[in-house]
Structures are given as structure tokens and as C-alpha cells.
Amino acid sequence: MEYKIRFVPGNPKFDTLGVMKLSCDSSVDINSRIYGQAQLGRSEEFIFARVWSFETAPTAASRVGLTLQNGDSKIEMTACFDESSSLFINGSDCKNLLTAYLISGEDLQGEYWGAVMMLPASEFFAALKIDKASLPAVIAANVYRQSDTLSSACGEFTLLSDN
């Protein structure tokens, strides 16, 4: 999957970002599949993501997350339905840098829960060894929702410049 991580000036906003669909492997029984969506963007201050899952009874272990990778450098963020979260940068626990909160509601597609996760942009660029002046840049990514089954969207995501 291809996705463009766009620059949004000011506070993180999702209304101008593209939406990616998270899908289950076709080997998962159709009645066990969970539909999910996600958005990623960046501002001057943050790299931010919103991942949500359409399900009515998530378990405490249900989680949403993303992995962003550039070569050997990797960022892993997760948020669980039990309100816990984690951030690992190149294998080191950096949870103190992560802002994460749960979201829930209902829309035309049904009931959902999910999370918004934000990482300081300076930490993102340093961790993945990306020079902002060299944007656009392509990174490997996986955005997912996981409990008993996995819904995900993985591929190359393009990090766009500020213009």
C-alpha cells in the first residue's frame, strides 16, 4: 500500500488527511474480521496518527499501533483498549515521548474505538535518520489493529515536505 504522510500546519488535524483501510488476511474467517482505518500526518511539532477499529466488544488486550522504519532504524507505537501505551525507538523504551489517548464513538459505519498517538517530530526525524531538507522520503510502515485477529495496512509511505 502507498500512503502520503502530509504536512499540516498548526495543531494536528485529521480532516485534510487521506484515510487508509486496514484489512485482514483472507485466511481469517469472514465473521471474525475486524474493519479498521488509519490516518497519519505531521505538523511542525508532531508526527501523529489516528487508528480506529470498528468493533463493539474489544478486549483489554485489543491494541492499535504502527511501525515506521527507515533502513535499520525503527519506531514502534501502540495503544491498548486498557488505556496503556508504548513507544520503542530502535529497541529502547521511550514511552515518555509518546502522547496517546483513546477515542470512541459511532458513525455511519458502526461503533468504533481507537487511539490518537503523537511523537515529537524532532524525535521522529532523529530516530529514523531523515534530514527534513531531503524530503520527500520513503519509509516502510505497518499500521494495525490487533487482538484475536490482525487488520493491517503495510507498505511504503511517502513523507512529504512542508510545501
Mean pLDDT is lowest, of 7-11, 43-47, 152-156, for 152-156
Question: Of all helices (H) and strands (E), which one includes residue 11?
Answer: none
pLDDT reported for residue 148: 63
Q: Per residue in 112-137, pLDDT tens?
A: 899 999 999 999 999 999 999 999 99
Domain definitions of the chain by residue range: 2-159
pLDDT reported for residue 25: 66
Q: Is pLDDT larger for residue 129 or for residue 111?
A: 129
Q: Per residue in 131-155, pLDDT tens?
A: 999 999 999 999 988 876 667 787 8
Q: Is pLDDT larger for residue 29 or for residue 67?
A: 67
Q: In three state form, how does the secondary structure of 52-105 look?
A: EEECCCCCCCCEEEEEEEECCEEEEEEEECCCCEEEEECCEECHHHCEEEEEEE
Is the CATH number of domain 2-159 2.60.40.1190?
yes
